[in-house]
Amino acid sequence: MPATARIYRGTPSNLARLARQLRAGELVAVPTETVYGLAANALDARACRRIFTAKRRPADDPLIVHIHSLAQLRQVAEVNPAALLLARKFWPGPLTLVLPKKPVVPAVVSAGLPSVAVRMPSHPLFRRLLKLSGVPLAAPSANPFGYVSPTSAEHVRAGLGKRIRHILDGGPCTIGLESTIVDLRDPLQPQLLRPGAVTRTELERVLGRRVRPAPAPAAAKRGAQLAPGLLARHYSPRTLVTLHARLSPAAAAKSPASEAWIFVAKPRGLTGKNIFWLDAHGELRGAARRLFATLRRVDGRGYSRIHVELARGEGLAPAINDRLRRAAAK
C-alpha cells in the first residue's frame, strides 16, 4: 500500500479505473452530496469487511447500501408502497430507507440483522461510478470510526490516507450532513432514526401519516444497530466540546485564548483567533455545509475546549443539533 492514498479527478478514464477496482474488491473513497463515503461492492462480504478494518469500525454498526436505480433497490431489499412513495419523491437525494433485506446482501453489511439501509445518492460523479461499477456500493463515512465526518477529499486523505489506496475527488459536499434515515420495515409505523436534510415534516407530508421522532442519542444502546449514526457518541472531535443554546459574545471576548468559540452566525464586533462561525449570516444550509469542516479545523489547533452554539429553528436545525449533541457526548 502506498504511503498515502491517491486522489483522482473525475475524468472518464479515472472513473472507469475506479469502477474496475470496486468490482475487484478494492475500497474507493467517494464524494456524495452529504459526506464522503468509503465504498466497496455491497454484495462482496470480503470487500465490505475491509471497510470495517480500514475505519476500525465495530461490526455491530451497519453500512448504508448505495444504489443507482430502483431496480437495484429491488435487488437488495423488500420494497413496500411507502418506500416507493419516498423514493420517487426524494431520490436521488439525502434519504436512507431501512427495509427488510434480500439474501444477496451479506450479513456483514447489516450487522447481522434482517434489514438493510439503502439510499440513492445525487452526487453526479458518484452516480456515474455506481453505473460503471454495475453493483450496489456499501459506503459509510470515509473517516476513522467516531471522528468528525469528511466533507472533502483532503479530509479523507488526512484520516484514512495510509489505510486506503483510492480517493475520488468530487469537491466539497453540498449538504455536509449525513442522510436522513427512516425505518420503513413496517410501513404503517415509520420512524425517523437520524435527522438530515429531508425533514420529518416532509416525510409525513409524502406518507400521509405520522412519522415517529428519532430516539434521543442517550437512548442508543450497544449491540447491533438498526442503522448507522445512532450511537450516543459520534462525529466527535478529539477536543472537549461544550454546547450552548446561545453563545454570548461578551463571554467569548473574556475567555482564555486556549478555548475556541463556534457561533452559528458571524458575531458582530467580535474578532480573535479563537472565534469561528458556521455561516456569515446564520443561514442553516451554509451552517450545515461547513459544520464538520469547521469542527475539524478547530480541532487541529490545540484548544482545550470548543464552545459550540446550537442551531435554532426548523429545517436543518434538528440535524445540525443531532450531530453536535453526539459530538459533545461524554
Query: CATH number, domain at 196?
Result: 3.90.870.10
Task: Name the residue with cell 479527478.
Answer: 9
- Domain boundary among the residues 184, 219, 254 is at 219
Beta strand 37-41 with 137-138: parallel, antiparallel or unpaired? Answer: antiparallel
Is residue 90 domain-shared with residue 186, that is, in the same domain?
A: yes
Same domain, 74 and 203: yes
The pTM score is: 0.95
Residue 228 lies in a domain: no
Enclosing H/E stretch for 323? helix 317-328
Residues 207 and 275 placed together within one structural domain of the fold: no
Host domain of residue 150: 6-219
The SS3 assignment for 153 reads: helix
Residues 296 and 318: their CA atoms lie apart, in Å, by 21
Q: Is residue 255 domain-shared with residue 213, that is, in the same domain?
A: no
CB atoms within 10 A of CB 282: 17
Question: Domains in the chain: how many in total?
Answer: 2
Q: What is the pLDDT along the chain (330 residues), one digit of tens a residue?
A: 456 899 999 999 999 999 999 999 999 999 999 999 999 999 999 999 999 999 999 999 999 999 999 999 999 999 999 999 999 999 999 999 999 999 999 999 999 999 999 999 999 999 999 999 999 999 999 999 999 999 999 999 999 999 999 999 999 999 999 999 999 999 999 999 999 999 999 999 999 999 999 887 655 556 789 999 898 888 999 999 999 999 999 999 999 999 999 999 999 989 899 999 999 999 999 999 999 999 999 998 999 999 999 999 999 999 999 999 999 998
Q: Are both 160 and 271 inside the same structural domain?
A: no
Residue 42: inside a domain: yes
Local structure of 191: helix, strand or coil: strand
229 occurs within a structural domain:
no
| Residue finishing a domain among 187, 219, 251 | 219
Are residues 204 and 93 part of one domain?
yes
Residue 7: exposure state from Cβ atoms within 10 A (0-12, 13-18, ≥19): middle
**Is residue 230 a part of any domain in this protein?**
no
- Model pLDDT, residue 1: 46
* β strands within 195-316, DSSP E: 240-244, 259-265, 275-279, 305-309
Give the per-residue pLDDT at 218.
52
In a shared domain, residues 51 and 112:
yes
What are the residue ranges of helices labelled H in 101-208?
124-133, 153-160, 200-207
